[in-house]
Amino acid sequence: MSINTFIAFLLCISLFIGSIVISTDNYWIFASGSSFVMVVGGTLAATFLGQEARYVLLALRGILSTFSVQRIGRSILNQEVGRIIRWGYLSQQKGVTALEQEAQKVKADPFLSFGLELVLSGYKADDIRSNLQSVANSTFERNMVPANICKNMASTAPAFGMIGTLVGLIIMLDDMGTDPTQLGNGLAVALNTTLYGVIMARMICLPAANKMTQRHEINRFRHELLLEGLALLADRKNPRFIQDRMNSFLDPAIRFDIDKQLRER
């Protein structure tokens, strides 16, 4: 679990509840089952109506996945450079066919496995760049579908909150002739739907969409880093040349250093 995400979510909820506790003793006025159903149910119904069910379910799963740890960190990018450089030395010493065993080790990584298969198949560097760039772009576009659905839900939830408020106001005005003293309470309940809509949008859907987008962008960056390294590997470039080229993509603080690795050995 991502501790940072979990703590941030708890802090957000705590600040909201804390402000209510400080402001009033009547806490239950903020609890409304009908408002919850109107906002959450309406948002999900509209989303399923406008999107394919498979992608909506992926989006809902993606919201939960934001609490998981991001697999691609800064250290991982450094390790990816080191792996390509190690493959460069291996192909220099034993030939490209020596990488066949390495291909078996990376089967779990579709992008890296496909890229290494292209190298072993004898594709030229430019062809590898072109093919892997297409894979990187299409993967990013597919991954962004759930994130975009979450953004759409973030814009839909406040709208249903407003719809719920209007429904509540209509009901309240209809009851106005029987007991005008209940107008205040009725208005408070009606406004709960607007509150729930904003909470769902700004505390759940939009943050999840932003985090999903950021993670997919990091993954695309990793793919672009790897495709460059694999293309240079196919071009039989010197490992130090590969290091310098791949390091040009990275933050100076996490660049790979062959000499440092040799000294540590």
Tell me the per-residue pLDDT of 94-116, one tens digit each, with 9 for 90 and over: 877 778 888 888 888 999 999 99
CA angle 104, 109, 112 (to 5 degrees): 80
User: What is the mean predicted confidence (pLDDT) over 157-168?
Assistant: 90
pLDDT at 176 over 80: no
CB 63 within 8 A of CB 208: yes
Rounded Cα gap, residues 80 and 227, in angstroms: 11
Res 27: pLDDT: 80
127 pLDDT band, cuts 50/70/90, is very high
Mention every residue, 6+ apart, whose C-beta is less than 8 A from residue 186.
Answer: 168, 171, 172, 175
Rounded Cα gap, residues 135 and 153, in angstroms: 28
Question: Among residues of the chain, what percentage have pLDDT more than 70?
Answer: 92
17 pLDDT band, cuts 50/70/90, is confident
Please provide residue 122's backbone torsions phi and psi, each rounded to the nearest 5 degrees. 90, 20
CA contacts within 13 A on the Cβ side of 235:
16
